[in-house]
Amino acid sequence: MNESDKLEGEHAAAKAEAPEKGNVGSKEKKAEGENESMKESMLRLAAEFDNYKKRAKKDIDSAKMLGAADLMRQLFPILDEFELALLAISKSTDKNLMKGIEMVYSNMSDTLRKYGLREIDTSGKFDPYKHEIVLARESTKEPGTIIEVIKKGYMFNEMVLRPAAVIIAKDNESFAEHQQDSEAKQE
């Protein structure tokens, strides 16, 4: 074996190794690419899971609020009856009975208020989102002004659970026109 054969052999061996080194480099790049892809996938999955947790918490909170609102609605007849009892007992001479009913009503109202129940304000003008017109009566007050409350309305947080049933003022002209229309229909 001469030196040229020896050099050719080394050269051939170097060529054989060169593609392998190239393969190793491309394998590393491929592995790095797969690694980056997996990282991105894991980050996306983590973000999706975080969004799921937030959505689930929001859904649970919403369900709790709707459940509490339903309970509040079921208590409205009891509140109404307490108010009627207070009106009826105010004419009584039994002050202890009156004080006892007032205390129970007050405790119940305070507890419900603590959990977010509020009476709807009925002073001022009619608000179609919070009030229900039962009757419009001729009055010297500005038309649309609430002049009497028939049944209290309630809100739970920002949700109207029961609109206030009210009587509003209407102007004398519209009252006269309405009367004329009614008389014309009867004839």
Reply yes or no on whether the pLDDT at 32 is more than 70.
yes
SS3 123: coil
Span 150-184, pLDDT tens digits:
999 999 988 999 999 999 998 766 545 554 554 55
- Residue 34 falls within a domain, yes or no? no
Assess if residue 38 is contained within a domain: no
At 15-25, the pLDDT tens digits run 555 445 556 67
Domain tally, the chain: 1
Query: The tokens of 48 are what?
Result: 């999706």
* In the chain, % of residues over pLDDT 90: 55
pLDDT at 7 over 80: no
Query: Measured on CA atoms in the order 135, 140, 144, 148, is the torsion positive or negative?
Result: negative
What CATH number is associated with residue 182?
2.30.22.10
Q: Residues 147, 137: contact at Cβ < 8 Å? A: yes
Per-residue tokens: 73: 């609605």
Domain coverage including residue 170? 118-187
Q: Give CA–CA dist 149/139, Å, rounded.
A: 15
Q: Which two tokens stand for residue 105?
A: 């009503």
Residue 178 covered by a domain: yes
Query: Chain-wide mean pLDDT for the chain?
Result: 83
The arithmetic mean of pLDDT across residues 98-102, rounded, is: 90
Does 103 fall in a domain? no
- Residue 177 falls inside a structural domain: yes
As a whole number, mean pLDDT of residues 74-91 equals: 91
86 within domain boundaries: no
How many Cα atoms within 13 Å fall on the side-chain side of residue 128?
0
Residue 88 lies in a domain: no
Position 173 in a domain = yes
Q: Average the pLDDT over 121-143 and give the result.
A: 92
